[in-house]
Structure 1
């Protein structure tokens, strides 16, 4: 039986990856320090003899006994609300955490896949974004702590690949959505759905003409799985190229939820990208991958998930204590 370590395992994507690899017949070692993750996302896996959980911060030394075949590094705050609250921890997990896991992969002779992001492109001057584009990033702006953590992570990973001959993979993840997202994490889909379910007006930042491209989680997980099992070491975009403006998307949410709230506008945050659309030519060619789930279906499944939450979960705001992580 193959053994895989998944960091950030109690988070949105990490928990879905745990499900996928359990279903593929792997022994899954899940690791998370639970800053932004939640054990309820993986609680259903605890009875499995092929699943184990470590409550650990990967910026500290990581020890896994025995053999290890694969590592998926998905530990990182991913929403602006989180990484603006814990900027130093965000930088540390992208640098020290990545260094620790690359070292572990080298010792174990394991293949490692690093979760990068479309944010490495910053506010892009090229549209759609190809893997060859170097990006337009403000290193000292408020988003720089996340953008630069991921850009450094890619550089360090490629250095281990080139210098040590380590088997590495890099996925550049574009906006992904689906069940297990946190309602109040600041990203557009849970924000809109939470507001709609609470009867609040939908908040659009800027004029709403900025664009995003949303990929349903099942499609994203399939792309990540195929990349891990491929023999390609350079970064690959995994996302849905179906681009939509935020204004159009807000209207879709109002139609889906059957509500009649207004759309209200607030100032656009600094360095918020105006366009985001992946060029997935490389994923199609190398992995035979492209998204299958249409936004209408994916949004319905996601809305059903949020509807299933209790009133207490729906109404609560995120007030997690981050102070112990600020160092």
Structure 2
């Protein structure tokens, strides 16, 4: 055990973080999760039974506790659901700024590799499609999504500053729409919304006319990309930023029909007004990650939804959610 590499994951009880915990433990790492359980759920880690795992309740807006020697710091703590952008705006903004600072400082002080999670939201409502890493985005800095979008953009600037001033090995991942088991049924993002509504016999709510598009990456593909980037040689990945996502683009109204067909649900589609600043298109250009890491997603949307369904069937009947 003493020879195992040690990874710290902020937001380790969250949707993405908990899957990353599993992947690292499977590969023999010692893993510490830091989570205040604001949006992360202890149930996401209830299955973990390993002496190499430790769950520490901690708010990353505060300096990290001493955790011993650390090799990797994965900063994945943040509320990422649009329904939280208004109700938890300040918390989100500070988690992505003060929290990112604390994570990067801890990596610097322990000579660890830092892998901060960024997001496709930094592209805003993009005027370039698909979105490349060189595109600087089209973000409304005073809009309802700004606490998340702008604080994440700042976290990227902070990562660049730490790289320039302290020569920290920092690798930034821009995560595009991802789905899979352990998403909360009340998460507020479109696939959890559709699955929850269909399973409960409700109509599926599409905002706007449904012609806006997204690209959805299954969680296993995302984690494989994160791990490949984190483990890549120093000269290949240090200081880089990459998009990770699926390039299979779909209109939201078509996605609703895919979910209805997958569940053989007796649901209709209803339309409501589009929220302010909701992006019209979102699809990653993954040329960079394919070139650097020889990575690309392998799970189709249909297969991914079928893999996700059992989780939602279980959770909708559970008192834990």
TM-score class normalised by the smaller sequence: over 0.9
Number of aligned residue pairs: give it: 314
Report SS of the residue matched to 1:303: helix
Question: Once superposed, which parts of structure 1, at least 4 consecutive aligned residues long, lie more than 3 Å away?
Answer: none
1:16 aligns with 2:19: yes
Report SS of the residue matched to 1:290: coil
Q: Deviations over 1:217-239 (max 9, x none)?
A: 00000000011112322210000
What is the match of residue 238 of structure 1? 244
For 2:86 and 2:76, the matched residues in 1 are separated by: 18
Aligned mate of 1:60, from 59, 62, 69: 62
Report SS of the residue matched to 1:149: helix
What is the match of residue 185 of structure 2? 183
Structure 1, 61-70 or 117-126: larger mean CA deviation: 61-70
Report SS of the residue matched to 2:187: coil
Report SS of the residue matched to 1:190: helix
What are the residue-to-residue correspondences of 1:157-306 with 2, within 5 Å?
157-230=159-232, 231=234, 232=237, 233-306=239-312
For 2:315 and 2:153, the matched residues in 1 are separated by: 36
For 1:23 and 1:311, the matched residues in 2 are separated by: 29
What is the match of residue 42 of structure 2? 39
What is the match of residue 142 of structure 1? 144
Task: Determine if contact 2:78/2:95 at 8 Å carries over to the other structure.
Answer: yes
For 1:312 and 1:56, the matched residues in 2 are separated by: 26
State the Cα distance separating 1:262 from its structure 2 match.
1.2
Q: Can you give the 5+ residue segments of structure 1 that lack an aligned partner in the other structure?
A: 317-327
What is the match of residue 152 of structure 1? 154
State the Cα distance separating 1:313 from its structure 2 match.
5.1
Question: Pairwise CA RMSD of aligned residues?
Answer: 1.1
Report SS of the residue matched to 1:168: coil
State the Cα distance separating 1:43 from its structure 2 match.
1.2
Q: Deviations over 1:121-160 (max 9, x none)?
A: 0000000000000000000100000000110000000110
For 1:213 and 1:313, the matched residues in 2 are separated by: 31
Report SS of the residue matched to 1:161: helix
For 2:280 and 2:292, the matched residues in 1 are separated by: 29
What is the match of residue 126 of structure 2? 124
Q: When the two structures are superposed, what TM-score results if normalisation uses the length of structure 2?
A: 0.96
Q: Classify 1:209/1:313 alpha carbon distance in 2 versus 1 (closer, same or farther; 3 Å).
A: farther
Task: Determine if contact 2:185/2:315 at 8 Å carries over to the other structure.
Answer: no
What is the match of residue 100 of structure 1? 102
Aligned mate of 1:30, from 30, 33, 36: 33
Report SS of the residue matched to 2:118: strand
Q: Can you give the 5+ residue segments of structure 2 that lack an aligned partner in the other structure?
A: none
For 1:295 and 1:212, the matched residues in 2 are separated by: 12
What is the match of residue 114 of structure 2? 112
